[in-house]
Chains A and B, each alone.
Chain A
Amino acid sequence: KNEVEQSPQNLTAQEGEFITINCSYSVGISALHWLQQHPGGGIVSLFMLSSGKKKHGRLIATINIQEKHSSLHITASHPRDSAVYICAVGGNTGNQFYFGTGTSLTVIP
Chain B
Amino acid sequence: DSGVTQTPKHLITATGQRVTLRCSPRSGDLSVYWYQQSLDQGLQFLIHYYNGEERAKGNILERFSAQQFPDLHSELNLSSLELGDSALYFCASSNQILGYNEQFFGPGTRLTVL
Residue of B2, B35, B99, B102 most packed against chain A (CB within 10 A): B99
Q: How far is the CB of B57 from chain A (nearest CB, A)?
A: 9
Provide the A90-104 mask, 1 if CB < 8 A to any CB of B, else 0: 110111111111100
Q: How far is the CB of B111 from chain A (nearest CB, A)?
A: 13
Which of B42, B99, B100, B110 contacts A99 (CB under 8 A)? B42
Contacts of A11 in B (CB 8 A): none
A96 touches B56 (CB 8 A): yes
| A97 with B88, Cβ < 8 A, contacts A30-B98, A45-B105 known | no
By secondary structure, the B interface counts as: strand
A91 touches B99 (CB 8 A): yes
Contacts of A43 in B (CB 8 A): 90, 92, 105, 108
A42 touches B105 (CB 8 A): yes
B99 touches A98 (CB 8 A): no
Q: How far is the CB of A17 from chain B (nearest CB, A)?
A: 26
B: number of interface residues (CB 8 Å)? 26
**Which residues of A pack against B, CB within 8 Å?**
30-31, 33, 35, 41-45, 48, 50, 86, 88, 90-91, 93-102
13 A-B pairs (CB sep. < 8 Å): A30-B99, A30-B100, A31-B101, A41-B108, A42-B108, A43-B108, A44-B105, A91-B99, A94-B97, A94-B98, A97-B33, A99-B42, A99-B44
Alpha-carbon distance between A35 and B102 when the two chains are bound, in angstroms: 10
A94 touches B108 (CB 8 A): no
Alpha-carbon distance between A97 and B48 when the two chains are bound, in angstroms: 10
How many cross-chain pairs have Cβ atoms below 8 Å apart between A and B?
Answer: 64
B11 within 8 A of A: no
Alpha-carbon distance between A95 and B97 when the two chains are bound, in angstroms: 9
Q: How far is the CB of B52 from chain A (nearest CB, A)?
A: 16
Which of A48, A86, A99, A101 contacts B102 (CB under 8 A)? A48
| A101 with B42, Cβ < 8 A, contacts A41-B88, A41-B110 known | yes
Contacts of B100 in A (CB 8 A): 30-31, 48, 50, 90, 94
Alpha-carbon distance between A88 and B105 when the two chains are bound, in angstroms: 14
